[in-house]
Each structure stands twice: as structure tokens, then as C-alpha cells.
Structure 1
């Protein structure tokens, strides 16, 4: 008798929970255990809110453990590519620890794709939304759970809306695990989620850190002395509880990171014995190019540097050495606090103020608490330490006052002591009236500040709106999403009006057809002439400041404002009574608002979804003018769209017309258009230097700078699309200058003195390669598609080779998706391009 094959019954949630708990190498603490039990018991999912450093990753991995044991797919999402890469490695390690192959975990960031069909997928939030929008292309029936890490990013003004849309689009059977630092309105958020999206998740909150924090206001020690006393001369590799290192020193300036690191390298932070071990470890890395020769001797003294200006391969070296407990301190910017796993015993804030000189403000509480939370390692420390340093002027004053008892001298009746008091008072250090300072009260307010609240911020991105309309032209579906946003009624109404403006912009740009048709523009009637006066020709109406299109948009949305011949409304009680008796609607002074019901994408709408790196409306508009540009010009324009860091942009300015003469696009189209439209005059386009009448002193000479080509293009675009205000331009000549240096990255950054900011240059070049890939899918007006593609490929190839020469690992990782066709079905622009 043949026995029928049976399918093994998948383990229950309770069994999986017990298995997972039994496999932990240590006893979970209360909030972790409560969150795990809640997740396995409650089908809709959980929101876990607990302080930074509470071990939320252990909770997150339970959802992935469940997926691997049941054969279901699970997504682990984060808001940052760097954090996603780190979590990918951690989850692969966990899978291997549970007995599963490492390739059962995949990664998709938009810039890189590894095992994209794996059971567990670690992705950035935008990839999750892209896949939800293409639901028929991806199998959501087999997805069991989505983990959203660093979920407090929901309140981010620029990217938080991606989390919102994901919550709205996820199928109801997919379980949620939302992990966040402590937030101020967690219960309200859970209620909102149930009401707006039908997801009744369970809330688990923790307020206690496993490693409590001790806060120190330090106004009598300068940073080098404090760092030395924290290290206490002992090896960071030992567990001396009196030592306060390893430490992260947070600075709000990349240049200052290097300055502080240079100062600290002369201090005794590690022992001679440990330095030998560190020196041997440093031989595993290549420090021969760019900032490497400057960084290596700093590292050798137990000091690391970590910020966006450091080349990725050097940042990795710093991270690995710190995790191996070979470095005493890492001087870093606050970006390291956003989820990166570099556990430290202490953190030090060198200042509480952020912003440009003269306009600095105290750092926001949420960012400060992220930095505080990096202190205290559960596996090593019983307590974490947070230090805030006073300004060095205040430290000098405090030290001087401690040494000289001015108060006693002032009270003394002895004439000699009174003379000494006056003499010493003149010598006492003082504050600079032009410097902004901070104090202990501000530090205490930051410590006590309540956690931030989860709230919807920002508006629908243009690309996202294009995707939604492509799925359904019914505008009410988009409005329904806007109405569910976590914001007050006034802001929701503002968002709805903004949506109407965006739709009108897309209509006038030829991206969508609207139903009903937008109202036609109405011209006001000229005033009648007085008796006996000749009839006058109507005075031409001046074009609105935003351009003709801007005028059409504004007037179509508020058409009633132009009906100047409309009789005044009779507001007398008798008139109102008559209107009411006749059943007439009460007239309103409010202009009639146009709100389309349907927005049908045209063929041109496909261009909007082709661009990820730039504003898609701007990218599409560029296709109408780039065919008139020479290579130097289109390279300038593309570079300017990438938002190069402002502090470094000063070192890569676009040369003035004397050194880089205007090309065919500028002289043949952009300049004449700006003059004809009255945006700029010829003198403003190409100003000459002005000398004073005497022409004697160089200081009397005023230099006037001509606007760059990218700035002029931006002015022209804004004149035509006044309601597209979220595209940023920063003119730089970086990649183009690198190509002029023979595409030798190291020679270029050395010649321009950019070694300490080479990470910004490196990232800029790789982003430009990706942008070239986006533009390669489309052809500018008047150009041959093959020739345009070849131009872009040549630039992309040279930049890729330049980046590969200094950091091949990062270059390959960043360009992997481009070479394989991309997450969203891009063509093979990069395939074989860089071989």
C-alpha cells in the first residue's frame, strides 16, 4: 500500500518564539521579551519604542527567523543606504548562526542588488514602496512580514512620506514590526494607524536603558586634556571600569574633525603595547592615496576620523578598527549616530550649537538624543557617559577664576589687595562679543527634552505622484491618501491645495490630461472712459513674475479673482432673506477652486518615472535644451543638480567666463531667452569688474561674478515652472575638472587640496555616473540617441575608472544595480560599460 506524501506542518508562532528565545546567547531584558511575545501572539504586528541602545535589532531578527523557518519572504527596511548595508551583513551573520546559508539573505538599495530573490530582503524604504507600486511584478502573497527599522524617520520632512505610503499599500496579511527610538505620541500613532489604515498593531514601550547614562557638563577641561584623562593610559582592549574610552567625539563640522584629530594624536591615548598591535592591523589596509598618508599616523595614535568627506574605504577601516577595540576615540559628525553600530563607552559633544556663524542654534533634541544613545555598550559597560564641553573661552575663564579668588580680593579692605584685584581683573580672560556660546542650562534642557512626535511632514514627491497616477488616474485615490496623513486639518487642506497645483503643473507641462478641462484664462475688461474722453486702447497686462505659465496656473486656480465686471454682492438682511426664500445659494467671496477628478498620464509622463536623482519635472525639461549644449555645458548642468556639500563646494567653483567661455547652449539659447523674458539684463549676465574713480587701491576694486550656466538654466526653468520649487542647484566644476586632470582621482584631489574632503568628491562622481545612466534612457530634443548615449557612456566610464582606482570595493558596490539593469527595469546602459 502506497502512503501519500504529506506536507510538513509549519511550526506555530509559539514554537518559533520559544525556539528563538532558547537560542539567544543571553537572557533578554524585559522590553525585548515583551516585544517578542507580542509579535508572535498578535497577527497585525507591533510598534516597539525604546531608547537607543536597548537592543531592538534582536527583536527585529525574530521576524526574519520566522520567515526563514516557514519559507515565507520578509523585508527588513531602513531609511539609509549605509545602515542598510550594515544590517545586511548583520542579518547574513544571523542567518548563518541559525543554520541557513548566507545567500538566503538579499540586499536591494537602488544602488546595489545582491540575491534579490532571497527569502529575507534587506532594502531601503524606497525599494519597498517601488515594489508595492509594482505589486503585479512581485509576489506579495508569500510575504509574511515587513520590519521598518529607525521608524522615527516617519517624521522626516523629505523621506518620511515613503514610510507613510508603504503603510497604506501593504497587503493586510503582511505583519508589521515597527522599531523606533522613544517617541512622544506612540499611543496616538497606534490609534491613527488603526483608524486610517486598518492596522491594529500592539504597542510595546520601554523607557529604561539596559546601560544607564551619566551626564557630565565640563567647563574646566579642554578636549585634549579630557580625552587623555578619559583614556587614562590603559589599553582600550581591557575592561578597566574607570576608563571612559572608547569614545565617540561628535563635531558639527568636517574640517573641525580633522583639526581635533590632529590635536589629539599628540596625546597619550593608548599604550605602547597596544600601539604595536594597532600598527600590525594598519598594515592590512592601503593608506597610500588621498587622505591616507594624513590619516594613518592619526590612527596609529588611537584616533579615528569618520565623516562624509572621508573616502568610504577609510571609513570602513576606522569602523573595523574601532569595533576591534584598537582605537580610543573616533572624531565624527552626527551622521554616525543615525543607526550605525559603533558602540562606545562614552560620547563627547564639543558644542551644543549648529548652523552658520552668527546664526547658530542649539541642536534639536531628537538628534542630540541619537548621539547620547551611542554611549554604553550592553556587552561591556554598566554605565554610559555623555560629556558636553563648554566653549574653550569659558574653560579658560573657569580655570582662571579657580586660580584667582577675585571675590575675596574685591571684599578686602587692604589697599594692596584692592590694587591686586584691579590688576588681575584686567587680565581676566573674557568672552568674544562676536562669538556664540552655550551653557549647562541648555545642556540640561536637551537631556530633559521630551522625545519627538511621529507626524506626517513634507508633500508628495513628483515621481511618486507620477507612479500613483500611472496606477490609477482617479485623483480621489491620491486625495484619500492625503486625507489619511497624520497632520491637523489645516495642514491636510494645504496638502490638498498643493496637490491641485502639482496636477495643474503636470497638465501644462504635457505630462497629464485633466478631466474636467482646466478653466480658461479670463481677461479683465478695461474700465469705461469718462464722457467726453477718447476711448483708450487697453494697457497690455504685464506678464506675472513667475512667467507666462506661472500666470496661467495662478489664474486658472483662482479664476474668480479676474472677474472684475462682476457686480458687488448685496449683503443687506433683506437681500439675504429674499435669496433664502427663493432657494438661491448664498454667494461667496472665495475664489472657485479648480480640482480635477482624473489625471490621465500622457506618453511624456514616462519621463517622470525615469529620474530618481533629480526632480523629474526638471529632468524632463532639461531634455528640451540639452540638445543645444556642448559636452562641457551639459556636464556643468548635471553636476549642479547633485547638491554638492556647501562647505566643500567653495573649493570646486565653476570658473568665470574669462577662464571657461560660454558655449553654444548659453550664447545661442539660454542668454537670449533670459533677456527676452526680462529675467536678467545683458549687464547681469556678464558683469564687468568695477573700479573706483581714483583706481588707486586694490581694496577699492569690486569684483562682480557672472551667474554660472547652471544658475541661468535654473532661472529659466523656474520662470517656466514657478510651482516646482523643490529642485536645488549648486554650481560646481568637480567631475569636469577631474576629467581635465586625466581622470586621475588622486592627482586631482591633491592638486585642489581636497584630500580631507575626497569622500564628497568620490560620492559626487559616482552619483553623476548613476545620473548619466538615467539620462541615457532618454534622448534630448534634436540629438541622435546613439551619439547621446555614447557621450554619456564615455563620461561615466572615465569617472568609474577614476573612482575604482582609489576605492574599487565601494565603486563596484555602488554601481552594481546600474550594471545589472536596475531595480525598476532600467536598460543595460551599464552592462559591460566599465570592463
Structure 2
């Protein structure tokens, strides 16, 4: 191939475009082909940023160099992989010129264009002796606003700090509020000088409307009136509560939502779908009336069905939660928000501008609409009050008519009242949300344990890690706190035997601040330092972290990994230190205890906890892990009272215990401490051993274990618990458990042989996999691919 200039490559790229790019695309493309180090593109959703990304890959293919295309999510990576393969073929190259590398899957791994999750690129940069970056010309970072993510953002942040200077970067982001500030930081901290292309204009403009006088059902009926051109549907109705999604959908299904032709097409489509179990029958009735429901509580196969019908323009409305706005590509003509507040009733608050903009941005389909619509409704109490006032004001104040005076008096008596415990929102708050600037890019979260292990395995030198931390995009006070946190992490790894520090820490470093060895009969857990929430992490650091120095006067220079460091890299689904801790405990556990421990690290929504609670001490007697190991250790360390471990006092005999049970069954409430679950016992012991590790969250749950008690019959379990409207949450819980069991197979408790340990876990994986296959085979197979392809390090 004759060597082409960048100008010639640019001409070829523009020539092959099937349409004229609109302004922001053209500006970004020209900037890319002329810039020395790259471009940051900030533009709203739906402005065709993929077209810009393809230019970098087009150039790499024409210059016989390598380009990386990174995304924050595996699902998005696989989607982009297929898109880039299609683009390569369109340009006259082969689909094999585009490869995919994630933590569990490789396809064409030696290709010129590599679509990877961000962690893969970062790990390769840590190993220049293996991966040759001299042949890499460009790195594209898609969905770059994920830089703000407390867990994933730091991978991209450190990657930017490690990229060789000759590699050009293309950062593609939704509109951010501090693009100029971010580029200044990138230039001063990492000597990477990018050009900025920014746009706030959408290809499909939005019309915003406050609706003070209509209830939701009336608003939707208004939107569905008229012909195809004048209707404001299809529409997404956003709710902040999964149960409320179903309630609203039920209210809408009796309305005239779809044409006869659409209904006939829906009936035809549903013939191939099995909607016989769980929420299926209820969802089918809704779909036939043109209404879909889409949230995490809906099974994946049902969500895919809703997405397909909506994209085929057969549904008028999909009632969904805000998670849809951040992930699924499901644009609509209109977006409707029946409320602007979210959270539990006692903690309801106004939604934040970033969430609002994400939802607003779903309105307007570039291929179908000339403009999109955003409707925000007043609270139903305000609507009723406004309607009452309109009637009341129609009667003159100075009327002498006895009938009108009587009517006015009656109206005043029936005046609607606002509820004192209700949280209301206003039109002013809506416009303030609409006009609020987009979120700023800022460094969030601590260095993850897994990431730190990767870096130390690549090089034991600590100073390069400190330099990366000291250059983070945050205020100087927080940077100092993060450096101190890094020192504490290194000492924790040293105490646990994962690294050897040089110079060796002083003897005082072996002493850690543990909770006092006194117990409170009414306490259910220790008051350990809480992990910062994402909101706190972005703006503040706890006083404890700001003030405390790990070991005064001590600063390690090297952290040499021991033979155990690889164990930290084995865990993705759980804090790795806690994961290794569990492996060390579970060698003496029975199956029920193993499942309790595993399930407890998988977060479960608070609204479901009552349905999936762990059985009481009497219903599920403790197993060998609790009785032979945990209970004695907790008593020895003064972390629990005997009655908190067994439910009975030391001086209570069997007859007294039985009498107490009878009283409890009759409804008598006694002032006795709650008995710790196995998960809580494990957490107490872990936090005693690792008091500096504050990012472990335990939720006692018994769902997968009870499903096995139902013979693995998922639908029977769901029906018995009346969880049809939340079955997607339970199904996801099982899939995540399968993945977690796969991760735990990489290690082995000392009490067992690898064959025995892996055999136990394989049996559970097989049982849960078969259960899930009967529910949703497609989603199950995807999860099993991850288990089978689990890798510790990409090498």
C-alpha cells in the first residue's frame, strides 16, 4: 500500500461517507485528522459520535498501525466490535482486521483494530515488555464521561497517564461542564495536549413542557391522539420505583393506545414468545394494549421482547426506570416524567441534573423525528388543587345568588389538601434542572485493590503509583488524603502477606486499631468507618482519612509481591481481600453456609430483603463453620455475646427456651438481642482482622439456597414468594452467583483438595445454570461464557 498523508486519508474518509456530516461531526473529523495528540469531543447523545470514532480506526487501517477502541462495559464492547467489523468490510478490509479482547473472550486478538474493555488496555500498558506499543497509533475512549464512575473511571484516568506520547487519543463523551478545565489538567498533569470540539446542539431538538393540569393517564391519551405525524408517541415514561412501573402500566392499559394494525402485529409477534410464567401473563396483557414495562425486575428475555416491539414502533408507551436512560439504546419521540423526586418515602429528594439530562436525552429519534418532546407533570395533588381552584374562582366573590353561595361554601369544604408527609416539586425546579450545566469530569473513588495488585505485579516500585495518584483531577487536600489511603492499603497488603515492603515497616505498623472488645446486647453490628458514597467521594473525604497518617514518618519505596498476590486479581465480583478471606473460611462450611456466605456479597435491593431474609436460628440451625470456628473466635475477641450467636442465654435451659418460643409464636416481643446471621458473623471477623478495609458491604440473603429447596424450580419459588414483578432481580442474583462461584474456583481452602473444592462449586454452578436455562437460556449462556473464560491477567 502506498503511504498516504493524513490529508489524503481524511479525503478518502470523507469521500466514503454516505451522507454529509453535520457540523459537530465535521468539526471533530477535521480536528482529528489535523491534531498532533488527539481530540476531546463533547456532544449530546444522538449526535453520531460513532462516525467520529471510526475515523481513527480508518486511519490506522490505512497506515498499517494498531488502534485500540475502549469502552467501560463488556456489553457495549461487544456491540462496538460488531459495528467496527461491519465498518472495516465497508472500507474494503476484512472483518478479521477487527479483534475483541475482554476479560473472558478473545476474537482475532492479533488484529490491527482491537476493541477492548478499559482494564485490558491498562493492564497491557503495565507490561511493555510483552506488548509493543510502538506500533499503536491511536486509542479511542468511548462513553468517556464514565471517567466520573467511582469504580471504572480510575482505569481510564491511569491509562491516560501511562500512554506513550506518540499515541493519539480520541475521547468521546456526552456534554460535560468542565471540558476546558479537564483539558488543562490533562496537559499539565500528563503532557497530553488535546483539541476540544464541543456542541450542545442536538440533531433532533427538544421541546420542554411543564404540565400542571393533567394526570398521567390524561397526558398519555392526549399524546396518542391524532395521526402518525401529530402523535407524541412512542414515549418513555420514567419512574423511580419498579412497583410503580407496573401500577402506571396497569392504569394505561385500558386506554386507547394502539391502532388495530399495531395490535394485530403485536399478537403475531407474541405467538413466538413464551409468556406463560412469572410476570409473563400480566406483561402479555399490557403488551397487547401497546404498553411495555422495562426495569431490572423484569426478566431479560421479557426486556428484550419489549425492546424489540418498541423499536418496531408497535408499542406506544414503555414504562421504565432511569437505568434505561444510561444504557439501552431505546430512543423515543417523547419522554414523560410523572415525578421529579426519588428515594424511599422518608428520604425523597429531587433528582440530580445528570440523571435528568440522561432521561431528557432519550427523546427525539434522529431517523424518525424532527423534534423530540419532554413532558414533566405536576404532582397529582397539585393538579387536583389547580382544578378545584379553577372551579372555585368561577364563582364571583361578591355573588348574592343563594345557590352559588351554597355551591361556593360546599367547594371550600371539599378543598383538596396537600399531605404533610409528601414531597412535592415545582415548575421552577423543573426549569432549573433543564437549565443546569452538565456534570463535571472529576476523579472519584480510591485506587481499587485489584488495580493496585496489577500495578505491583508489573513493578514493585511505589513512586510511579504515587505520581499517578498525585496527578488525579481533584483538590490538593483530597490528593493528600488519597496518598495516605494508598499508604494504608500497602500496609494492609503487607500485614496480610501479599507484599514485602522495603524498607521494612517499624514494629508499630503491626498494631492496628481494632474495635473495642466490649459488646452491646442490642447492637446488631459494629460501627465501622463507612465507605464514602460516590457523592462524598467526588467532593470530600472523611475526617479520619484527612487527619490520619498510616505510620508516622514511614514511607515505603517498594512493595514486592509475594506468591499470594495473584489471589487478589482473581476476584471481580467481590472485594478481593474479602474474597480470599471467605475462601480461607469455607473449607469447613456445609453447603447452606457456603451459599449464605456467597449470596451475602451480592447486593440485593432493600425492597426485596423481607422476601429473601435468612431463616432464623431455629429454622436453619448453624453449620460447622459457625459452631466450630466463627462462634468461638467471636467470643474470644469479645465481638459478640453468646445469646447473639445462638439465640439463647447461657443460663437458659431447654424448657425455658421452648417456653420463649411459644411466647414468640403468640406474638409476645421480648427484649433480647437479634441473633447474628452467618454473613454478619463473617463480616465481624473480617473487619476485626482488616479494620482499614471499609469498602465491603454485606447483605444477609437466602434466595438461591431456598430455590434449591424448591428443587431448582425458579417459577415455583417466585410464585410462592409473590415476586413475579421482581423476578428479574432474583434471576440476575442467580447469574451473578454463578459468576462468583466461577471466581472462587480459582482458589482453594487449605482444608480441601482442589478437586473436592472445584467439584462442590461445579455442582452448584451446574444446578443454578440448569435452573436459569429453563427461565432464560440466552442470558444464562452469556453468563456461562464468562465463567468458562475467566482470566486473571491478560498475558
What's the counterpart of residue 551 of structure 1? none
Q: Quickly say closer, same or farther: Cα 1:112–1:640, change in 2 above 3 A.
A: farther
Pairs within 5 Å for 1:178-197: 178-197=171-190
**Cα distance in 2 between the residues matched to 1:590 and 1:466:** 19
Secondary structure of the residue aligned to 2:292 is strand
Residues 805, 145 of structure 1: alpha-carbon distance in 2 compared, 3 angstrom cutoff: farther
**Deviations for 1:217-255, whole angstroms, at most 9, x for unmatched residues?**
112111122112112164xxx4x0x21111111111122
Query: Is the 1:469–1:599 Cα contact (8 Å) retained in structure 2?
Result: yes
Per-residue CA shift, 1:94-149, capped at 9, x if unaligned? 34444445454444443554444444333332233233334444443333322212
Contact 1:77/1:124 (<8 A) preserved: yes
What is the match of residue 574 of structure 1?
none
Partner in structure 2 of residue 664 of structure 1: 624
User: Which whole-Å CA distance do the structure 1 matches of 2:172 and 2:516 have between them?
Assistant: 44
Question: May I ask how many residue pairs the two structures share in their alignment?
Answer: 758
Equivalent-residue separation in structure 1 for 2:33 and 2:784 (angstroms): 39
Is 1:750 the counterpart of 2:710 in the alignment?
Answer: no
Contact residue 72 and residue 143 of structure 1 kept, 8 A: yes
Give the aligned partner of residue 380 of structure 1.
368
- 1:817–1:823 CA contact under 8 A, matched in 2: no
- CA distance in 2 between counterparts of 1:647 and 1:15 reads 59
Q: Which moved more, 1:360-369 or 1:84-93?
A: 84-93
Q: Which of 612, 630, 637 matches 1:652?
A: 612
SS at match of 1:330: strand
- Asked whether 1:452 is paired with 2:443, we answer no
Q: Determine the C-alpha separation between the residues in 2 that align with 1:437 and 1:356.
A: 14
CA distance in 2, matches of 1:801, 1:659: 27
1:295 paired residue number: 283
Give 2:247's match in structure 1, choosing from 259, 262, 267. Answer: 259
Aligned position for 2:595: 635
1:468 aligns with 2:455: yes
In structure 1, C-alpha distance between the alignment counterparts of 2:300 and 2:97, rounded to whole Å: 27
**What is the Cα deviation at residue 547 of structure 1?**
7.5
Q: What is the alpha-carbon distance in structure 1 between the residues aligned to residue 724 and residue 97 of structure 2?
A: 39
590 and 819 in structure 1: CA distance in 2 versus 1, 3 angstrom threshold: closer
Q: 1:247 aligns with which of 228, 235, 244?
A: 235
Q: What TM-score do the two structures reach when normalised by structure 1?
A: 0.85
CA separation of 1:413/1:694 partners in 2, compared to 1, >3 Å: closer, same or farther?
A: farther
Q: 1:506, 1:108 → 2: CA distance? A: 30
C-alpha displacement at 1:212, in angstroms? Answer: 1.6
How far did residue 411 of structure 1 move? 5.4
Q: Is the 8 A contact 2:569 2:792 kept in 1?
A: no
Moved more, 61-70 or 275-284: 61-70
- 3-state DSSP of counterpart to 2:39: strand
- 1:209 — aligned with what? 202
RMSD, aligned α-carbons: 3.0
Deviation readout 1:725-764 (Å, 9 max, x if unpaired): 1011111112222222222333332333333222222222
CA shift at 1:662, angstroms?
0.6
Aligned to 1:731: 700
Pair 1:545 & 2:532 matched: no
Q: Which runs of 5+ in 1 are unaligned?
A: 1-7, 524-540, 549-553, 555-588, 827-835
**Aligned counterpart, 2:72:** 79
- How far did 1:12 drift? 3.2
CA pair 16-823 structure 1, distance change in 2 beyond 3 A: farther
Instruction: Classify 1:100/1:399 alpha carbon distance in 2 versus 1 (closer, same or farther; 3 Å).
Output: farther
Partners of 1:481 and 1:686 in 2: CA distance: 49
CA separation of 1:403 and 1:627: change in aligned 2, threshold 3 A: same
Matched, 1:57 2:57: no
**What secondary structure, in the 3-state scheme, does the structure 2 residue paired with 1:315 have?**
helix
C-alpha contact 2:392 2:412 (8 A) present in aligned 1: no
CA distance in structure 1 between the partners assigned to 2:619 and 2:401 by the alignment: 72
Determine helix, strand or coil for the equivalent of 1:204. strand
Q: For 1:22 and 1:644, how far apart are their aligned partners in 2?
A: 52
SS of residue matched to 1:650 = coil
Say if 1:289 and 1:806, in contact at 8 Å, map to a contact too. Answer: no
Cα deviations across residues 564-613 of structure 1 (Å, max 9, x unaligned)?
xxxxxxxxxxxxxxxxxxxxxxxxx9993422121111112221111111
- Which residue among 363, 368, 388 is the counterpart of 2:351? 363
| 1:225 is the counterpart of 2:195 | no
- For residues 233 and 132 of structure 2, the distance between their equivalents in structure 1, rounded to whole angstroms, comes to 48
Is 1:518 the equivalent of 2:505? yes
Separation in 1, partners of 2:110, 2:775: 31
Distance verdict in 2 for CA 1:508–1:425, change over 3 Å: same
Counterpart check, 1:615 vs 2:575: yes
Unaligned stretches of 5+ in structure 2? 519-528, 530-548, 649-656
Q: Does 1:429 align with 2:424?
A: no
Q: Secondary structure at the match of 2:197?
A: strand
How many angstroms apart in 2 are the aligned matches of 1:596 and 1:54?
Answer: 49
**Contact 1:112–1:814 (Cα < 8 Å) also in 2:** no
* 3-state secondary structure, aligned to 1:600: strand
Deviation at 1:716, TM superposition (A): 0.9
Question: 1:624 Cα deviation (Å)?
Answer: 2.2
Deviation at 1:649, TM superposition (A): 3.4
Distance 1:94 1:303, change over 3 A: farther
Give the TM-score, by structure 2 length: 0.89
